[in-house]
Amino acid sequence: MQDFPAFLKGKKIILGVSGSVAIYKSLEILRCLQKLGAEVRVIMSQKAKDFISPLLFESLSHYQVLEDCNQSWGQNPINHIEIAKWGELFLIAPASANTLNKIAYGIADNMLLEAFLAFDKKKLIAPSANTQMLKNKATQRALKILENDGVGIIPTQSKELACKSVGEGALAEPLEIVYWVLRAVLSKPFWLNKEVLISGGGSRERIDAVRYLSNFSSGKMAQSLALVAYFLGAKVCYVGSKFPYHLPLGIEVIKTETSESFLKAIQKWQKHKKTKKEDSFLLMCAAISDYIYPKPHATKTKKEAIGAVWDLKLVQNKDILASLDKSKQRTIGFKLENTSEEVKALKNAQKALKEKGLEGICLNCISPSHNPLTSSHNQILWVGALGEKDLGFGDKFTQSFKIFSELETL
């Protein structure tokens, strides 16, 4: 999360914790939410206090923890109604089998359950339970009831549990839970039924069994776009060779290397996607090699066989963006030019927009002082059919939000 901006600045989140060995992960969730700018208040069930002291949550959140023994209705109230009015999102992590079964049937016999029952905005639950307790028909029935009621259920993971058995039921990783929070808070109705594919990283074109041609692309712009698309609510597929960030499980990931594998992966997505053109978006952010070695060697080429000079005769690569079928989706290209040739760069982008049948191009420039391929920041000029718009200079996540705002106007 090092490069992440304050996505949740000013947002008010209630973190509920119930009795589970996984409660130690709640501390990391709390800190992650705070680093993203959120205010976080904690409610603990009585059983949760058997595992960890409220004082630890209070020292991190800088708010008094709400629990059964300290509810007040006086001049500075702290109670289940007050906190339910305060929060914008309610997350219970971990949620024990006992807690989620009670919630499903409207039982409110502790402070955590009372507050959750009184809360009428976005709700998320991250279960944590023994495999058999989770698989029990009563628990499965409760989970279906909660989903039907609009509560987001964050899937558990399969691993060794506290009881030493291996199976489903472990609390989701803190970052995965935080990603669910970001999607719940940042999603927009426009993107909820949209499919988005983003290609990223540099292609690797084989020379022999150990060497390849590539470039300095870090994949940061592409993965920023993929994460933002996911946060906005879209169904996202990331096709790439570089993975600078840990992506949520909700993003389909296809690992690629060569330009040919990029092409095949995108064509497969085009074939299997469910949405029509106006609801599908392809963002070709990958840095595909302009040249390839036509006949890669199957084994390592020994330097004794090469000699003092290795004269690699490269051939021009296929233009993947130009060759893709544009009738399947709205297609956006990314173009890198030299800062010293800004006027020529814009003309090149406008020319590519028409010749390749694109809806837009994100033009960025490289200079001796700034390389957008490796940096966490970028200067982008949006080039579309209706003209150009300077998106300014900023971190790649902020730039991604601006790009998706432009896509909404297509």
Catalytic residues: 163
Find the mean pLDDT for residues 88-97.
97
Find the mean pLDDT for residues 197-210.
96
pLDDT tens-digit readout, 321-361: 999 999 999 999 999 998 878 778 899 999 999 999 999 99
Measured distance between the N- and C-terminal CA atoms of the chain, rounded to whole angstroms: 31
pLDDT tens-digit readout, 138-178: 999 999 999 999 999 999 988 777 667 777 889 999 999 99
**What is residue 53's predicted lDDT score, i.e. its pLDDT?**
94
Mean pLDDT of the chain: 94
**What is residue 179's predicted lDDT score, i.e. its pLDDT?**
98
Confidence of residue 52 (pLDDT cuts 50, 70, 90): very high
**CA–CA gap between residue 318 and residue 267 (Å, rounded):** 15
**What is residue 168's predicted lDDT score, i.e. its pLDDT?**
84
Among 90-104, 136-150, 303-317, whose mean pLDDT is lowest? 303-317
Confidence of residue 249 (pLDDT cuts 50, 70, 90): very high
Find the mean pLDDT for residues 374-399.
94
**What is residue 10's predicted lDDT score, i.e. its pLDDT?**
94
Tell whether the model's pLDDT for residue 1 goes beyond 80. no
pLDDT tens-digit readout, 254-281: 999 999 999 999 999 999 999 999 999 9
